[in-house]
């Protein structure tokens, strides 16, 4: 075994990987990190929320009769103007002469109903009370705002105070509350860059900005055009049709990269991509959060009455806080010290969500968030297969690990799949290490001998390599079922930080969904080296990063990092793991996709309830297609198998099934994970998907639209068009017929 040439090559290759990993990690460790996430705790019987007693409505909107204001800059097809009265700005898209304003525009004699419209709004903790402040009522109204031109733009400055008395002081004391916001607006290469920084003017240690909302009415409108919508990052993307009345619709919030389990805040819908936009008339805008994304949430408001506005905008957590009714915990460190957004404007035929996705993709590549590479097309489309190795079971008080798919059984399944024409498999093997799917601390976990050990894995890999397939070992880098005591992350209350992942197998096994401990980041670089060292003799194609793709959190332990710094630490750890190997990720949070080759469990629909006003669209696939291969959640776990198969074709996704060799229940027909139940369906769908999608894997998805109710078309830059018909009747278009509950590729 020791002299086997394959193993010798593995050892030499792994030695090179470890050297590369150490070099990359040393470079990463040399960067300046954020301050410790230690928090201040005080007993607080109650917290009062203090708002303005009076507002000046004229400072919250622009008058159409005054025009755009003072011209400051121009770039490409956009021009920047400033309004001195409100100390705000507008952008004019010159091909359509469309104005996009930071504040709503009054189009008639009526005063707009927008008392909360501002360039920026702040939620400030004043020690115990909460102050809701904004640039219009608490800076412009007090004469504490102004702007100065700069190259290609201007800097807008706001000294924000809770009351006029404090604003009028010549000398501020350390018990006062006051903050300076600088909002820089620059036109560059036809885009608008907006940056926001803040400064404590008084030095009051108890005065902290908890959160900032930026440009909460930018582009807001309240007319009703049938084609207008808000674009939100729900799942793979969704549009909110603003002309469709929906009395049940409520304002929505999306947490970029998911909620932070260490802050004990209510979870909102998760957003994979830090982007949002809107279409209004013949123009559209998309905004990409380029700094502060890990601290961001995105808010969408649909006009429900004549005085309301349709709008979508970002908010940012600056100082994490938590209050349980008696104890107030405040982080002593800040996130999002600098916020930056890039706005791209489109018009005419380009003003579609496909056009917005293309602009977003271009900017992500330019900023180094996505790779410039394209997918290497082979003879066959990848079939993504998730296999469960071992699971944790209980017998009374005793826990043990049971095998659901050994390495030998996995080999048998692949042979059978090959015989049915599934010729290219990306095999994600879960539960291969200590603890099975309830993986313990990966630094201490070892390959399970009950699955076949290293020899069994080697035999499986040999077959996979000979068939030009890929084998990914699933690892949890951020969490562990046990073994993190004393080194685990802490939440804002200084309790051990945990999260409970979804585990659909647990329901069938009758096992509880157990919380997992979260890792602190001070030894994260050493962990990566340890994982590479521990797996250097194992035969596999690459890692599947499980929790890294869906989980991001702050650590409030003594040496912890807040969420924005944690994102950078995680991002810098991925290149060593992917050096010389291909890499798979689960979920697909955009901050960590640069070195990822394949994504599984990419959402194929929005999480919010579908209605006439709220519609899923493939915004994320429009951004990603051609750069990485991706697959949605396992098809065989869906409630409507046929519709899910069609959705994969519509969204250009690779097939994905999740199977076990051993059944979970006695009646195998009731087990959706038992491979024998759906292997024939999988083989049939794979053949159809391979014919329709394989030669398009490196192509850009250029457009997507509804042809009719229940019929959609996806276009590619090769000229290929794929029609998907979800209805129960055939549909004829352009001289071709798309069968009921079927799809058709043209060209």
Residue 465 confidence (pLDDT):
97
Residues 6+ apart with CB under 8 A from 89: 69, 72, 80, 81, 82, 83, 101, 102, 147, 154, 156, 185
Residues 6+ apart with CB under 8 A from 721: 713, 714, 715, 745, 746, 747
3-class secondary structure, 106: strand
Question: d(Cα 565, Cα 191) in Å, to the nearest integer?
Answer: 27
Question: d(Cα 589, Cα 602) in Å, to the nearest integer?
Answer: 9
The radius of gyration of the chain's CA atoms, rounded to the nearest angstrom, is: 27
> Do 288 and 271 form a contact (C-beta atoms < 8 A)?
no
Residue 206 confidence (pLDDT):
92
Specify the higher pLDDT residue, 141 or 501.
141
Residue 404 confidence (pLDDT):
97
Looking at domain 378-700, its CATH superfamily turns out to be Glycosidases (3.20.20.80)
Highest CATH level, class, for 41-366: mainly beta
User: H/E element holding 410?
Assistant: helix 407-419
Q: How confident is the model at residue 109 (pLDDT cuts 50, 70, 90)?
A: low
What are the extents of the domains in the chain?
A: 41-366, 378-700, 701-747
Task: Report the alpha-carbon angle 220-226-227, nearest 5.
Answer: 75
Q: What pLDDT digit, counting tens, does each position of 214-239 carry? A: 999 999 998 888 999 999 999 999 99
Specify the higher pLDDT residue, 313 or 507.
313
Q: What pLDDT digit, counting tens, does each position of 333-390 carry? A: 999 899 999 999 999 999 999 999 999 999 999 999 999 999 999 999 999 999 999 9
Residue 110 confidence (pLDDT):
64
Residues 6+ apart with CB under 8 A from 355: 284, 346, 349
Q: What pLDDT digit, counting tens, does each position of 300-312 carry? A: 999 987 778 999 9
> Do 205 and 113 form a contact (C-beta atoms < 8 A)?
no
The phi and psi torsions of 40 (rounded to 5 degrees) equal -100, 135
Residue 485 confidence (pLDDT):
56
Long-range contacts of 664-671 (CB under 8 A, 24+ apart): 664/404, 664/505, 664/508, 664/509, 665/508, 671/508
Do 41-366 and 378-700 come out as alike in CATH topology? no
Specify the higher pLDDT residue, 363 or 666.
363
**Cα separation of the two ends of the chain:** 52
pTM (2 d.p.): 0.93
């Amino acid at each position: 075994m020791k002299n086997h040439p394959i193993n010798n090559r593995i050892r030499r290759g792994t030695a090179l990987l470890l050297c590369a990993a150490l070099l990359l990690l040393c470079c990463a460790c040399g960067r300046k990190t954020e301050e410790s996430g230690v928090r201040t705790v005080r007993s607080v019987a109650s917290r009062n929320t203090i708002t303005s007693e009076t507002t000046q409505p004229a400072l919250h909107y622009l008058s159409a009769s005054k025009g755009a204001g003072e011209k400051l800059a121009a770039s490409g097809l956009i021009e920047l103007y400033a309004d001195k009265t409100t100390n705000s700005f507008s952008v004019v898209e010159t091909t359509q002469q469309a104005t996009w304003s930071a504040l709503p525009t009054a189009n008639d004699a009526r005063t707009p109903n927008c008392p909360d419209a501002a360039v920026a709004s702040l939620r400030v903790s004043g020690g115990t009370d909460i102050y809701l402040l904004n640039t219009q009522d608490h800076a412009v109204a007090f004469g504490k705002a102004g702007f100065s031109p700069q190259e290609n733009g201007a800097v807008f400055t706001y000294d924000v105070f809770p009351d006029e008395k404090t604003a009028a002081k010549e000398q501020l004391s350390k018990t006062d509350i006051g903050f300076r916001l600088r909002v820089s607006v620059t036109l560059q290469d036809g885009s608008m860059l907006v940056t926001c920084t803040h400064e404590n003017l008084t030095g009051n240690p108890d005065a902290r900005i908890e959160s900032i909302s930026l440009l909460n009415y930018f582009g807001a409108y309240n007319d009703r055009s049938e084609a207008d919508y808000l674009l939100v990052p729900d799942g793979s993307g969704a549009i909110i049709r603003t002309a469709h009345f929906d009395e049940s619709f409520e304002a929505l919030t999306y947490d970029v990269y998911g909620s932070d389990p260490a802050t004990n805040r209510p979870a909102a819908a998760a957003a994979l991509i830090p982007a949002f936009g809107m279409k209004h008339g013949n123009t559209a805008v998309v905004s990409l959060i380029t700094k502060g994304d890990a601290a961001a949430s995105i808010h969408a408001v649909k006009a429900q009455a004549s005085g309301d506005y349709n709008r979508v905008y970002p908010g940012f957590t600056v100082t994490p806080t938590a209050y349980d009714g008696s104890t107030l915990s405040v982080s002593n460190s800040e996130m999002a010290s600098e916020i930056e957004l890039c706005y791209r404007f489109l018009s005419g035929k380009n003003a579609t969500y496909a056009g917005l996705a293309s602009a977003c993709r271009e900017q992500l590549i330019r900023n180094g968030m996505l790779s410039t590479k394209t997918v290497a097309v082979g003879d066959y489309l990848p079939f993504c297969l998730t296999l469960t190795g071992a699971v944790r079971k209980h017998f009374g008080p005793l826990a043990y690990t049971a095998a659901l798919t050994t390495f030998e059984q996995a080999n048998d399944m692949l042979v059978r799949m090959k015989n049915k024409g599934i010729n290219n498999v990306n095999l994600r093997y879960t539960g291969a290490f200590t603890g099975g799917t309830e993986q313990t601390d990966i630094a201490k976990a070892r390959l399970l001998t009950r699955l076949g050990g290293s020899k069994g894995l080697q035999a499986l890999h040999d077959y996979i390599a000979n068939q030009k397939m890929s084998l990914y070992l699933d690892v949890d880098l951020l969490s562990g079922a046990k073994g993190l005591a004393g080194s685990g992350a802490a939440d804002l209350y200084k309790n051990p930080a945990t999260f409970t992942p979804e585990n659909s197998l647990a329901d069938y096994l009758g096992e509880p969904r157990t919380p997992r401990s979260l890792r602190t980041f001070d030894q994260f670089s050493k962990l990566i080296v340890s994982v590479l060292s521990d797996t250097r003799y194992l035969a596999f194609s690459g890692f599947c990063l499980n929790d890294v793709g869906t989980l991001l959190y702050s650590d409030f332990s003594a040496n912890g990092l807040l969420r924005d710094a944690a994102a950078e630490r995680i991002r810098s750890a991925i290149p060593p793991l992917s050096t010389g190997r291909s890499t798979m990720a689960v979920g697909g949070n955009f901050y960590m996709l640069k070195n990822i080759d394949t994504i599984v469990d990419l959402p194929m629909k929005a999480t919010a309830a579908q209605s006439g006003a709220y519609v899923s669209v493939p915004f994320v696939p429009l951004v990603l297609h051609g750069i990485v291969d991706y697959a949605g959640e396992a098809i065989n776990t869906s409630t409507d198998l046929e519709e899910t198969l069609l959705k994969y074709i519509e969204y250009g996704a690779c097939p994905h099934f999740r199977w076990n060799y051993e059944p979970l229940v006695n009646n195998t027909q009731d087990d959706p994970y038992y491979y024998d139940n759906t292997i024939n369906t999988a083989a049939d769908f794979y053949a159809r998907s391979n014919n329709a999608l394989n030669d398009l894997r490196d192509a850009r998805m250029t457009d997507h639209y509804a042809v009719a109710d229940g019929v959609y078309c996806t276009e590619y830059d090769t000229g290929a068009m794929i029609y998907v018909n979800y209805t129960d009747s055939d549909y004829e278009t352009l001289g071709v017929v798309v069968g009921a509950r079927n799809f058709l590729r043209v060209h």
